[in-house]
């Protein structure tokens, strides 16, 4: 059985890994990282500006910084179902592609429209 202390340590390690990965992704390709991580532009900007000390402090939290974004049965079913595979190893998983399209649409819907 996992102890509370072990659980807290695993959460902190997960937070550190997530924050470091997110910062790396955001610095490499901000738009793609925002899509993959499900972040708003404001949050993405804030994360790229975090100092190493701030990352350590946030990672030490007892709350998990990352979360499941898929709160829809349709997306979960697409991600977990086994589609018929084509006899080619490089053939894409069609259900995974459909799930990506659904999630991309949701990100676009959640971004505010800026009028100029």
pLDDT digits (tens, 9 = 90+) for 38-86: 899 999 999 999 999 999 999 999 999 987 766 667 666 766 775 555 5
Summary count for the chain: helices (H), strands (E) = 6, 0
CA atoms of 107 and 38, how far apart (whole Å): 7
Tell me where in the chain the CATH 1.10.4000.10 domain(s) lie. 1-67
Would you call 88 exposed, middle or buried from its count of C-beta atoms within 10 A (0-12, 13-18, 19+)? exposed
Q: What is the pLDDT of residues 95-104, one digit of tens each?
A: 555 555 555 5
Backbone angles phi, psi at 12, to 5 degrees: -65, -40
Angle, helices 4-28 vs 30-37, to 10°: value is 150
Q: What is the pLDDT of residues 12-38, one digit of tens each?
A: 999 999 999 999 999 999 999 998 898
SS3 at position 111: coil
pTM of the model: 0.65
Q: State how far Cα 91 lies from the chain centre.
A: 24
The superfamily in CATH containing domain 1-67 is Flagellar transcriptional activator FlhD (1.10.4000.10)
pLDDT at 107: 52
């Amino acid at each position: 059985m996992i102890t509370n202390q072990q659980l807290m340590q695993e959460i902190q390690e997960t937070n550190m890994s997530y924050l470091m990965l997110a910062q790396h992704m955001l610095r490499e390709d901000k738009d793609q990282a925002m899509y993959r991580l499900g972040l708003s532009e404001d949050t993405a900007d804030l994360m790229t500006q975090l100092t190493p000390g701030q990352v350590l402090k946030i990672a030490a939290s007892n709350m998990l910084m990352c979360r499941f974004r898929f709160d829809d049965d349709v997306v979960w079913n697409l991600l977990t179902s086994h589609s018929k595979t084509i006899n080619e190893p490089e053939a894409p998983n069609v259900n995974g592609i459909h799930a990506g399209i659904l999630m991309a649409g949701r990100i676009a819907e959640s971004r505010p429209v800026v009028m100029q």
